Structure 1
Amino acid sequence: MSNARFRVGMVGAGNICEFHVAAVKKLAPEVELIGITDLDAARAQANAEKWGTTALPDLDALVAAGANVIHVLTPPFAHAKVATAALERGCHVLIEKPIAEDADEARQIGELAKKKGLIASVNHSLLYDPQVKKALDAVAAGALGEVVSVDILRGSEYPPYEGGPLPPWYRDAGYPFRDIGVHCLYLMQALLGPIEGVDAEWSSLGGDPNLAFDEWRAMVRCQRGLGQFQLTYNTRPMQSQLIIHGTKSVLRVDLFAMFHGKRKNTPLPKAAERLVNAFVDSIGPMIDVPINVWKFVRKEVQSYQGLRDLVTEFYRRLAAGEPPPVAVDDAAQVVHWVEQVARAADEDHKAQLAPFTLSAKVPYLVTGASGSLGKATVKRLRAEGHQVRVFQRRIPKKPQEGLEYAFGNLGDPVAVDRAVQGAEIVIHCGAAMKGGWPEHKGGTVVGTQNVIDACKKHGVSQLVHISSMSVIDWAGSVGKGVIDETAALEPRAEERGAYTRAKLEAE
């Protein structure tokens, strides 16, 4: 067994694991990485080879190999279970955010760690982001006076969906708040003290039509002041700003552009003070951005730097016998408020879906019914007196009376199967209309395959596939008369763009 004081095993070999591995490897020889494990053994093996470590079968194998610290990097629903198992086996734990999906589970982790004489903490990484850390240090030094309020503006987006099982951010209505809101709340907690209440609103504006809610606002009441934050998947360019309002100064931290802007209270006349502050505020970015970009180029600052620095601090404190970077009780309080809002959003979405029921049999199903072609098809069918079911991603603001609605993404086989079941004829108008190849592959190619599979499964009598004139070989058709179904297809679809390529593959 290694002589390293701390021997680390990691449970969960997903994307975030790479950065935990890199952070731990920099702490050698005091800290040694024993290996990683994942329910997907092939992924664990592939990533272990890529990151220069060992893949082991499970948590017990990590412990048997000598691990005495476990990084819990699984999906959030498994955090409490894995952390508890690691503590029971005598290991300290560092858990990815959120510490758990339930505040009681989080507190139980803390109680078990205390009982076992072990340390448990959570990766609230933005507390150690260089820009945020600099701001927190300024607050602690009294540079802003007393902090009375905090604003956070955060834009985000999720990776392109290429079809298949829905990822959690599209499966659960409250996921965006669980994912990003947790960061906002622990920053509020750090700056304004314990959280006493959160009032939130959410909406669907269509920036990401696969999200149940893509616009969020929250007012946060803390012990020492008020905070508010915006989470948006609509505005561009995306931003990530933290604005700290103090009795002496207002500090604006831009986490994406990596700069600070500050406006101070001065003895100058108000007009002069505004001019001075505008000048100083504009100088900050001109100085900070080039310096921080240079640091990034030189790898003095790297992606997920806050995570890397928190991991370093976790092991420093572990070695020194000091309290961990993030207390379990603080993390549990954040989870309580995150879940209160997220679960309310989940229930709201369920309530919005409840009125839309599907009959056992329906003559027609039209996919892509919110697009211009789909709308025209539905209008024609209804004018002829047919009963119609439509399949689309978003709940309409004004549902048409007498129309059946099924919701989901064409790339999701479960949603497509539900929509097709009971239909006699399917008119497939749906396709991706924007984005790169991943979006077009998921919405058009995989979506069409899902429709075909569901039609076969449920014995649909007829499938009408609506293609596109973009698949025709227009250059090769010049001078050959009327374009009809015998016309040659585009031979260089990749050069025509993702839409043409996907429509051809769908055919």
Structure 2
Amino acid sequence: MRKLKVGIVGCGLIAKARHIPAYKRMKKSVELSAVCDLNEKLAMETAKEFRIPNAYPNVLEMLSKEDLDIVDICVPPQVHASVAVEAIEKGCHVIMEKPMALKTSDCDQMIEVARKHKVKLCVIHNNLFHPPFLKAKKLVADGAIGGFVGMRIFLSTPRWDMIDLKDHWYHKLPGGVIGETGPHMAYMSLAFLKNVRNVDIYAKNFLKHPWAPFDEFRIELEGENGISSVALSYTRNCWAANVDIFGTEAGLHLDLESMLLIRHRLKELSYMSIARSSLSAISQMIGGLASNAFKVITDRQKIGTDVVIERFADSILNDTQPPVTGEEGRETVRVMEMVVERYREKYGDKVE
């Protein structure tokens, strides 16, 4: 089996922490050939650190000198479309970080060009491929919780990671800080909601940073089959990523940091029923922790980005559908456009 040659655009944190290690673990099917970054020194340092053969100061030079199968885009979303089109026109398959773009028109351009050149396009919606989320999707599809009626998402990003930083790049995104984290809540909601057409948003400012008009957000997404209620918090000093999925017969609680899923079904409010429900939750938690520990110790734990990249490579080798299509990436961008538009309607000049 031939190896796919990969070039990475952008040598920032996400490339070095997630993407490059993922490819390095795929030695049988992938060859990491080159990296590029406008900061040529960073590109060269990254290539040296990870033993990648070549480093370039820009994507055009990399594309002209390398015979690549895959271009992996790890640069800000403002330039995703231009970089992707350049790579696609060279015959490369393209995978990129979320969001696919900042405008649906840019998504449409990428989809059209990829179709014209008969290459595959993929967006890394990493949370969809964490083990608890994959299991939850199957349980819902199998009717294990009855009919789906709604969901709740809570994402907490520590203050020091974004909101406390006056010069962070999120300020350049539509809607500011929600433009960075918002796509996660959008694509997770879209995994279950159908045809989202109505959104609303509520914002508060607790930290009073002059460069951050708001730091706590509550967002509602209404689909044909249910509602997703979202809390995005930037005021705390801790990470959290929790998803609750509600069905007519049972519910699911997902902790995407601990990689745990707990199914709960409390039919009665008797002491015995509550005790059984609590014991069941404890049992599921202990079992999940033990399973995760075993996978980590034996180096079998694959999460999020690792899974998407591996499945994308498989889709190229086997000519199957990518794990996240361009059309799915576009739908996330469409929902984010609605959220930012509503944000600006309600809060006007305060919105970044």
Q: Is the TM-score greater than 0.5?
A: yes
Partners of 1:188 and 1:227 within 8 A in 2 = yes
Deviation at 1:333, TM superposition (A): 1.6
Alpha-carbon distance between aligned partners in 2 of 1:317 and 1:310, rounded to the nearest angstrom: 10
Q: Assess, with a 3 A threshold, how the Cα gap between structure 1 residues 160 and 333 changes in structure 2: closer, same or farther.
A: closer
Say whether residues 1:11 and 2:9 are aligned partners.
Answer: yes
**1:330 lines up with 2:328 in the alignment:** yes
> Residues 80 and 220 from structure 1, CA distance in 2 versus in 1: closer, same or farther, beyond 3 angstroms?
same
- CA gap 1:349/1:299 in 2 versus in 1, 3 angstroms: farther
Q: Which amino acid in structure 2 is aligned with residue 105 of structure 1? A: D
Deviation at 1:131, TM superposition (A): 2.0
For 2:43, the equivalent position in structure 1 comes to 44
For structure 2, the 5+ residue unaligned runs are none
* 1:323 Cα offset (Å): 1.2
8 Å CA contact 2:213, 2:351 repeated in 1:
no
Change over 3 Å in CA distance of 1:262–1:93 after alignment to 2:
same
After superposition, the Cα gap between the structure-2 partners of 1:213 and 1:171, relative to the gap in structure 1 and judged at 3 Å, is farther
Q: 1:209 to 1:146 in 2, by over 3 A?
A: farther
Structure (1 or 2) with the larger CA radius of gyration: 1
1:73-130: CA deviation from partner (whole Å, max 9, x where unpaired) = 1111010110111111111100110001101111221111111111111000111112
* Conservation of the 8 A alpha-carbon contact between 2:158 and 2:238: no
Distance 1:186 1:81 in 2: 23
Kindly provide the CA deviation profile for residues 221-250 of structure 1, in whole angstroms up to 9, marking residues without a partner as x: 113211111001124554211001012210
Aligned pairs, how many?
347
Structure-2 residue corresponding to 1:136? 137
Alignment-mate amino acid for residue 22 of structure 1: P
Check conservation: 2:266, 2:274, Cα contact below 8 A. Answer: no
Q: Does the Cα contact within 8 Å between 2:91 and 2:117 map onto a contact in 1?
A: yes
Question: 2:229 aligned with 1:228, yes or no?
Answer: yes
| Residue 33 of structure 2: aligned partner | 34
Partner Cα distance (1:218, 1:166) in 2: 25
Whole-Å separation in 2 of the counterparts to 1:278 and 1:35: 52
Give 2:69's aligned residue.
68
Report the counterpart of residue 197 of structure 1 in structure 2: 198
Q: CA deviation at 1:171?
A: 5.3
Deviation at 1:208, TM superposition (A): 6.5
> Following TM superposition, by how much is the alpha carbon of 1:346 offset from its aligned partner in structure 2, in angstroms?
6.0
User: Contact between 1:173 and 1:212, CA under 8 Å: does it hold in 2?
Assistant: no
- Show the counterpart of 2:279: 279
Q: Is the 8 A contact 1:261 1:284 kept in 2?
A: yes
- CA drift at 1:38: 0.6
Instruction: Give CA-to-partner distance per residue, 1:439-461, whole Å, 9 cap, x none.
Output: xxxxxxxxxxxxxxxxxxxxxxx
| CA pair 252-195 structure 1, distance change in 2 beyond 3 A | same
Q: What are the within-5 Å matches in structure 2 for residues 406-425 of structure 1?
A: none
The one-letter amino acid of 2:193's match is L
Match of 1:126 in 2: 127
Who is 1:184 aligned against?
A: 185
The change in CA–CA distance for 1:121 and 1:171 in structure 2 (over 3 A counts) is closer
Deviations 1:153-206 (A, max 9, x none): 111125468x99812234557232121111111111112233222211222111
After superposition, residues 225-264 of structure 1 pair within 5 angstroms as 225-235=226-236, 237-264=238-265
Whether contact under 8 Å (1:201, 1:216) holds in the other structure is yes
> 2:241 and 2:161 mapped to 1: Cα distance?
21
Q: Is the 8 A contact 2:153 2:185 kept in 1?
A: yes
8 Å CA contact 1:250–1:262 kept in 2: the answer is yes
Question: Tell me, which stretches of 5 or more residues in structure 1 are unaligned?
Answer: 355-507
| Partner amino acid, structure 1, of 2:308 | L
SS of residue in 2 equivalent to 1:145: coil
* Distance change (3 Å), C-alpha of 1:309 and 1:172: closer
Matched residue, 2:312? 314
User: Which structure ranks higher in relative contact order (CA pairs < 8 Å, sequence separation ≥ 6)?
Assistant: 2
2:50 aligned partner, one-letter code: W
For each residue in 1:480-500, what CA deviation from the matched residue of structure 2 results, as whole angstroms up to 9, or x when unmatched? xxxxxxxxxxxxxxxxxxxxx
Structure-2 residue corresponding to 1:20: 19
Question: Normalised by the size of structure 2, how large is the TM-score?
Answer: 0.89
Letter of the 1:225 partner, please give it: G
SS in 1 for 2:101: coil
Out of 74-83 and 320-329, give the one that drifted further: 320-329
> Structure 2 CA distance, aligned partners of 1:353 and 1:233?
16
- SS for the counterpart of 2:245 is strand
Whether contact under 8 Å (1:173, 1:349) holds in the other structure is: no
Matched-pair contact (CA < 8 Å) for 2:158–2:236: no
Distance verdict in 2 for CA 1:65–1:235, change over 3 Å: closer
Deviation digits for residues 44-69 of structure 1 (CA, Å, limit 9, x no counterpart)? 11111111112123323333321121
In the TM superposition, residue 281 of structure 1 has moved relative to its aligned partner by 1.8
Q: Is the 8 A contact 1:217 1:228 kept in 2?
A: yes
Aligned partners of 1:173, 1:127: CA distance in 2, in Å? 23
Shift of the 164–200 alpha-carbon distance from structure 1 to 2, 3 Å rule, reads closer
Measure, in 2, the Cα distance between the counterparts of 1:121 and 1:328. Answer: 6
Moved more, 330-339 or 166-175: 166-175
Contact preservation (8 Å) 1:157, 1:233: yes
Corresponding letter in the other structure for 2:332: V
Superposed displacement of residue 5, structure 1: 4.3
- CA drift at 1:136: 1.6
- Aligned-partner Cα distance in 2 for 1:352–1:93: 36
Structure 1: how far apart are the matches of 2:343 and 2:221? 17
Shift of 1:144: 1.6
RMSD: 2.7
AA in 2 matched with 1:292: N
- Give the equivalent residue in structure 2 for 1:340: 338
- Name the SS for the 1:195 alignment partner: coil
